[in-house]
Structure 1
Amino acid sequence: MLSRLRRTRSSDPSIYEHLRAHLPDTGPGLLPGGETLPDDEKGALWAPGARDGVLTHHWAGSADPGEVDEVYTALVTAIENRATAPALVDTVAPLRVIALVDPLMGRVRSAGIDPDRAYRLGRWLALNARRREAVKLGISLLGLFDADHHRAELMVLGRHDEFTLFAAVALVNQPGGGEDELWELARSVTGWGRVHLVEQLANSKRPEILDWIVRGGFRNDVSHAYLAGIAAESGGLAGRLAVADADAELLHAAGDILTALCEQNGPMRGMPDYADGERAARLFLEHLQTRAEDLRHFLAVAALREYAAEHWPALPPACDAVLGQPNWPDLARAGLDSADPAEFQRADRACRFLGIPTLHVHLRRLRADPYDVRGWYSAMHQVEARTIDEVLELAMKLLPLAEIGSGTGEATGVGEEYAPHRCLDAFLPALGDWPGRGWPLVAAGLGCPVPRLRTMAARTMSVWGRATWPPPAELALRNAFAVEPDLELRELMQRVLDDRPLDE
């Protein structure tokens, strides 16, 4: 199933009440705890709004007619008899309203349903339901009516990324199109809600909105690639870079936008869809010939250099002139001492580009924060024959392997309690290159409650081959096979025990 929602209790607040209780007195977003909804299940796999965001951006399917009929029947029944509204909530809870809403609302519009009753039901669902899909259905019903009647409620619901898209669509139905409200919400969310709202604001004629988009509104917690094209096109990036005194904020934004557009395996087409891409890149590089001053500039030019080598043969020399400036190694090394995680990551990436080893920097930081999975990934990426044992010994010392391998199960591995388990992601595939090394890490993976990690552990043993297994390995794998609840994973383990190829 796409969602794993717990049953709510009658004592739980409605989702709307929960969000109202977590509104800050001033400023954007929600107070701590606001993002966790009353129907969230512990260990949920999806970030707020992510399921709907993926469907709207990457799904070309159509609504299931049977589901549309089922929800429509329950909806009409609830409009006619509000006592059946709880049954409607139960009907819609396991479904994806985002996939049904267009045909569903089309049928509601054309059915001649009593508008007063439809409005009251929509308001009841939006403000009183404890299940997210029912709230979305309620917001969609409200969207059939002038948003002046429920603007304040939509602005509360829209602050949570799970509901921003629905609130935004409903807010458009008012004189003037609700642009002020959309912009206010866009500045209050940072995830999928930001993506949806900036997409709606892309055709704005207001200079202040377009300026906000190109200078930072495109940044979001999902991927800058979703909005970089809008920022470049609607924000007139190339034209802004054509002035001689482009300011520092714009140059940093331009670097982020161009970097995102250069992603050739990103979620959007990126640079091929930006007609002014080469011109914007050339203008950006012209500024940086004399103004490149921090690692954000360096990394942006490095991304442009890789893209230009394949697509813009005239630009690599300008990239090389910036990348060859003598101050970068010192800046990169200095950044490795930063307490700011973002600055450290930039320094680490710059060091990789410059060929500066950072293994022992990561090991030092891991001693202070042993559950930093990114640090373990970076360490394993740099190991060689003379350092692999040092890294593995440190991992076996710092990670609670007995706790990680304490028993099988069907855990997702999401949540703070699985932070130690997730560290194995950095080791298990990589250990395939080091037959027989790090066996305690592989053993912990075989016995852990996360199926993904058990699978990787078994695959690592297959890559090793039986001849390199340490003495306890066969018995450990047989024990894991005996208690494995997943039939496909049992079959994989059996193949490993039989020394058969896994891709037959």
Structure 2
Amino acid sequence: MKILSLFRNKRLAWDPDTFPLPWDTGRPSIYRFIKDNGDDAELPDKAIYFSKTEISWVGGAVDHVVQPDSGPARAKAWGIYSALKAALARPSADSLKLLYDTMTQHAAIEYIDSLAGFSAWELDSGKLQDLMRWLASNAPDREVVKAAIALLGSKRNPENIGLFRSFSRHDEFALFANVALTNTLDDPEMEIWEVAKHLNGWGKIDAVSRLSNTKNPDIKSWLLRHGCANSIMHEYLAYTCATAGNLIEALSAETIDEELLSGASDIIDALFAGGPAEDMFDYPDGAEAVRLFVSHMGRDGLSLAQCAALVRIAEFLAVEESDWDRQPGWSPQARQAILHHVSAILQRQPLAALADPWLLTDDHFRFYHAITLARHLDMDIWQIYLNRQLAGHNSWYFLMRTDDPERIDRVLDLARSQLAFDDVATGPQLEIIGHGKKYETHAAFDYIVQDLRRFPGKGWDFVEASLQSPLIRNRNMALKALEAWGRQNWPVDAEARLSAACEIEPHPDVKAAIGRLLAGQDIRREDG
């Protein structure tokens, strides 16, 4: 055993191609997998990676959602730096294994900025580049690859451009590769534009955001026509495309092409939708852009998306918002003039014929447009959502948006046939949110129980199961429903069930709320 130990830890010559692999040799290189299988292929480490979380994130999502805390980030980075320093000094099987295992324990985005700062200390820059290039090219775990790309990109080396380019074409790695390309190239704009044109998810969002200061007329034109559309949320890119592409100037032309009209439709629609990024009230030229856009729509034969955009413009302008004063141009007279123009255009369009073919589609965006037109036409869309739920689409929220008790009975009967109550009623815990497939049924109960408060006595079995949910949110929903019902509408066993729930409730605020409900007092508290 001593001989084996000495052999395993002996000093190896500095040649990464001869290093012992610190991972299971049967697992494929992510870099080669991407090159062989296409840029949109599911990565081969998927099963291992998502076994550590209950959420199956789409490519690149984790790196845009995680907000690292500086304290823990530095601690994680220091642990990896120590292992990295040891591996560079003595690249043995044990030191490489320790480094690799340490790097796989955390998302690279959580520590990489701190690690890049530490790595400038006392480390052999050439060896660091060699080791990171070896890991980026051969490692089978995505977080190790990301960290390797970032450390490679922290030093300007044109030899790495091909590697960065390959990774930039995959949503999971685009953020890291884009930073590396930006650090490496004198003028990375054209390269980043190629990334934006190639991707459709988080990688596109990152790339387009990096084009916000472009002066290139071709890129500006592309931003207005194709830059906004993506598979995550158009809202993330609408403001960037409108401002960087100079939407006002483009729409000021006497005539515009169909691609610009379609792209402008996406941009304006997303700016009105608001959400996680800048919206119409952050856009100084918003009122003029909408006026110009509508002026180009005064013809027959508009598309489904264009008509839906006009409907949503009209819906939004009809709402009295305090935010109208945030940007100039949104006077009541200006809004009324646009509304009048939109109404005249829509009256000439065959809205029902445009919507009907897409009311049962699996295409999210086309269904969204179709349902917008159906709503504008005052169509009864409840049955559409019922059909979608029967087909497996999650439509509980929309199905509960009815005042018809008979329809609510049908929703509850369908939910009883589709949802597993035992998945929810597993016992109260201190969980607050609950994401991922494990909590899909809990989310469905949320949508159902939150509206049961409007129907006293209906769906007690849903309320009872929610009282036993591990999610605080579910339990609070159940309490609010019971409070809204009034004690006179409680089932005969409701008080006993509440008393039993109070006995085992682990959260002090929820426990107090149950006590107040039993005592006939107001339970109002902010949800946990």
Distance 1:78-1:485 versus aligned 2 partners, 3 A rule? farther
Aligned to 2:15: none
Cα shift at 1:147? 5.0
**1:317-355: CA deviation from partner (whole Å, max 9, x where unpaired):** 323323444633453455435564533332222222332
| Count of matched residue pairs | 485
Matched, 1:387 2:407: yes
**Of residues 88, 108, 123 in structure 1, which corresponds to 2:133?**
123
- The one-letter code sitting in structure 1 at the alignment partner of 2:411 is V
Pair 1:241 & 2:285 matched? no
Is 1:98 aligned to residue 97 of structure 2? no
Q: Distance in 2 between matches of 1:279 and 1:34?
A: 49
Find out whether 1:456 has 2:467 as its counterpart: no
CA contact (8 A) 2:300 2:349 kept: no
Q: Confirm whether residue 347 of structure 1 aligns to residue 360 of structure 2.
A: no
1:398-413 equivalences under 5 Å are 398-405=417-424, 407-408=426-427
Shift of 1:206: 4.2
Q: CA deviation at 1:43?
A: 1.9
Deviation track 1:119-171 (CA, whole Å, cap 9, x = no partner) reads 12322443455554443322221013345433343344434434321111112
Change (3 A) 1:464 1:294: same
Match of 1:4 in 2: none
* Whole-angstrom CA distance in 1 between matches of 2:25 and 2:436: 22
Letter matched to residue 392 of structure 1:
L
Separation of aligned partners in 2, 1:69 and 1:364? 54
RMSD, matched Cα: 3.7
What percent of counterpart residues are identical?
Answer: 31
Tell me which amino acid in the other structure corresponds to 1:17.
S
For residue 220 of structure 1, the aligned residue among 216, 227, 230 is 230
CA offsets 1:16-75 (integer angstroms, 9 cap, x no match): 72464355656xx4224658363222522754433431357xx89788555554444444
CA distance in 2, matches of 1:409, 1:159: 44
Is contact 2:382–2:398 with CA below 8 Å preserved after alignment?
Answer: yes
How far apart are residue 259 of structure 1 and its match?
A: 1.5
Amino acid at match of 2:372: R
- 1:139 — aligned with what? 149
Cα deviation digits, residues 208-257 of structure 1 (max 9, x gap)? 43333322232223322221122112223222223344222221211110
Q: Does 1:251 align with 2:254?
A: no
Q: Residue 452 and residue 187 in structure 1: after superposition, are their counterparts in 2 closer, same or farther (change >3 A)?
A: farther
Q: Secondary structure at the match of 1:365?
A: helix
**Match runs of 1:323-334 below 5 Å:** 323-325=346-348, 327-333=350-356
Residues 30, 43 of structure 2: 8 Å contact kept? no
- The structure that has the greater radius of gyration is 2
* Equivalent position to 2:344, from 318, 321, 324: 321
The answer to whether the 8 A contact 1:122-1:142 is kept is: yes
Q: Distance in 2 between matches of 1:65 and 1:132?
A: 21
Cα separation, 2, equivalents of 1:246 and 1:442: 55
Q: What is the CA–CA distance in structure 2 between the aligned matches of 1:32 and 1:342, rounded to whole Å?
A: 23
Structure 2 equivalent of residue 21 of structure 1? 33
Q: TM-score, normalised by structure 1?
A: 0.81
Structure 1 residues 338 and 161: CA distance shift in structure 2, 3 A: closer
Counterpart position of 1:471: 492
Alpha-carbon displacement from aligned partner over 1:411-436 (angstroms, at most 9, x marks no partner) = 97655565555432320111122221
Q: Does 1:185 align with 2:195?
A: yes
Separation in structure 2 between the aligned mates of residue 65 and residue 335 of structure 1, nearest angstrom: 51
> Residue deviations 1:187-208, cap 9 Å, x none?
4433322211112233344444
The 1:306/1:367 distance shift into structure 2, 3 A limit, reads closer
Task: Please tell me whether the aligned partners of residues 401 and 441 of structure 1 are also in contact (alpha carbons under 8 angstroms).
Answer: no
Query: 2:165 & 2:231 partners in 1: Cα distance?
Result: 20
**Structure 2: 5+ residue runs without aligned partners?**
1-21, 319-323, 325-329
Q: Are residues 1:274 and 2:283 paired? A: yes
Of residues 112, 119, 140 in structure 2, which corresponds to 1:108?
Answer: 119
Unaligned runs of 5+ in 1: 1-8
Question: 1:318 and 1:35 mapped to 2: Cα distance?
Answer: 54
Is 2:167–2:173's contact at 8 Å kept on the other side of the alignment? Answer: yes
CA gap of 1:494–1:399, structure 2 versus 1, over 3 A, is farther
Aligned-pair CA distance for 1:469: 1.8
Pick from 455, 459, 469: which aligns with 1:438? 459
**Deviation at residue 497 of structure 1 after TM alignment:** 4.8
Which aligned pairs between 1:33-72 and structure 2 lie closer than 5 A?
36=46, 38-41=48-51, 43-44=54-55, 46-54=57-65, 65-72=74-81
The answer as to whether partners of 1:432 and 1:464 remain within 8 angstroms in 2 is: yes
TM-aligned CA distance change 1:66 to 1:384, over 3 Å: same
Contact conserved, 2:30 with 2:141, CA < 8 A, in 1?
no
Task: Tell me, yes or no, if the aligned pair for 1:406 and 1:447 is still in contact at 8 Å.
Answer: yes
Rounded to whole Å, the distance in 2 between the matches of 1:280 and 1:332 is 26
Equivalent pair of 1:148/1:174 in contact (CA under 8 Å): yes
The aligned residue for residue 296 of structure 1 is: 305
- Residue 458 of structure 1: how far off its partner (Å): 4.0
Larger mean CA deviation between 221-230 and 330-339 belongs to: 330-339
> Do the aligned partners of 1:226 and 1:267 also contact (CA within 8 Å) in 2?
yes
Between 312-321 and 172-181, report the one with greater CA deviation.
Answer: 172-181
- 1:6 corresponds to which residue? none
* Alignment CA distance shift 1:300-1:10 (3 Å): same
For the 8 Å contact 2:428–2:472, the answer to whether it is kept is yes
Hey, what does 1:5 align to over in structure 2? none
Superposition pairs for residues 478-489 of structure 1, below 5 Å? Answer: none
- Alignment partner, residue 24 of structure 2: 11
